[in-house]
Chains A and B, each alone.
Chain A
Amino acid sequence: AQSVTQLGSHVSVSEGALVLLRCNYSSSVPPYLFWYVQYPNQGLQLLLKYTSAATLVKGINGFEAEFKKSETSFHLTKPSAHMSDAAEYFCAVSARAGGTSYGKLTFGQGTILTVHP
């Protein structure tokens, strides 16, 4: 079975500071990995996804994430936080063909990012 753990339900940074949101996964086969963002009372928007083309994935709004197989991690980073980045962020995993969870998207519990002026 696949699972996702997001370390830290709340992260607070100052405007202009580095953003680091942590995600670790567990999967029986090498997975696909996703980061989504959700603003209050809205749906989820895809930030980026890892499909094995490259371990460093660049997404929208200046975010990027690095897939590290040895650490089973897919942490999300942004060099300089902006007030508009305040939102909830979800990491998700989907199994490749052949896994028991093939095609199913499993979400982490979410991390709320607060940005202080």
Chain B
Amino acid sequence: DGGITQSPKYLFRKEGQNVTLSCEQNLNHDAMYWYRQDPGQGLRLIYYSQIVNDFQKGDIAEGYSVSREKKESFPLTVTSAQKNPTAFYLCASSMGTGGVDTQYFGPGTRLTVL
């Protein structure tokens, strides 16, 4: 089955630690995205990548970093600089970044900072 996988489903982190969230897709999509979801705020774009070895900041990139070394993988690192990292993180992919392209979402990772 083609789709997007995210791991782990639940993640706990101590303050001051960096943590990396995994996102893998086998849809052969060029574009990948990371969103953060907080209750009552919808989804906010953290980073996106249109092609391998290239990525751009979204609306709330501070305290996060990404890499895109392979087409199918787009890991997100939540650094200690992110002041309020507890949230639900969603990865998505699309064929391209044209406005009409549908974004397909993974199941999400819930990060809790202890």
Residues of A participating in the B interface, judged by any CB pair closer than 8 Å: 9, 31-32, 34, 36, 41-46, 49, 51, 90, 94-97, 99, 102-105, 107-110
Contact = CB atoms under 8 A, between A and B. Distances in A.
With most chain A CB atoms within 10 A of its CB, the pick from B33, B44, B98 is B98
Contact of B108 (A43, A46, A94, A105): A43
A99 B88 CA distance: 30
Given A45-B105, A107-B42, 14 more contacts: A9-B40, A31-B99, A41-B108, A43-B92, A43-B107, A49-B100, A90-B42, A96-B99, A96-B100, A102-B99, A103-B98, A105-B103, A109-B40, A110-B40
A32 B42 contact: no
A107 B105 CA distance: 14
Q: What are the 5 A-B residue pairs with the smallest beta carbon separation, nearest first?
A: A43-B105, A103-B97, A94-B99, A107-B42, A44-B105
